[in-house]
Amino acid sequence: MNVAASHVDAVHRARVLRALGMVPWVRRAAPTPPTTQEDIMVASPVRGDDAPGACVVILPGSCATRELDLLGRTFGACGAWLARAARVRVNAAGELAETPPAARAYLVFGEAQAHALGRSLPAEVMQRAQIVLVDEPSQVLSQAASKRRLWTAVRTLHRALAGVTG
């Protein structure tokens, strides 16, 4: 691939992501950690959708590599709030492989995963959290309508989490 074609692809990708309301996640140089106690106390806590525990992704345990790759690229394009989200899988018995952390939002891939999440979360956590159900990863990989629903769900979650202060 020549340089001109890759530049056009990058420009097109950026334009499409802007149209979808997404801000691509770009790696930056690591910030220097605070060195003095005053610097540590002045540093503000993370708020909004970048806060730790803002979102948890619930996935079926039988995801293929292609499906996980697609989801990883999607999450990375959506920003740090989703790229860094905790991921919990549902095993073959229909139970969560581990206890999901309490979060303000849950992005659930498939109805079976939603049932497993409902059985394992306490009622007060479910009442406070926003739970968004999208199609299973295999459907997102193969169907355009499923991809649109995923993008719409992610955009909705992003707006909801951005309006909440930590």
Q: How confident is the model at residue 38 (pLDDT cuts 50, 70, 90)?
A: very low
Choice between 105 and 18, residue whose per-residue pLDDT is larger? 105
Q: Is the pLDDT of residue 166 over 50?
A: no
Mean pLDDT of 15-21: 82
Helices 65-78 and 144-162, interaxial angle, to 10°?
Answer: 40
At 106 the pLDDT is 93
In three-state secondary structure terms, 61 is: coil
- Token pair 């790229």: residue: 83
71 Cβ partners below 8 Å, 6+ apart?
57, 59, 63, 109, 137, 140
Q: Is the pLDDT of residue 126 over 90?
A: no
pLDDT tens for 143-160 read 999 999 999 999 888 888
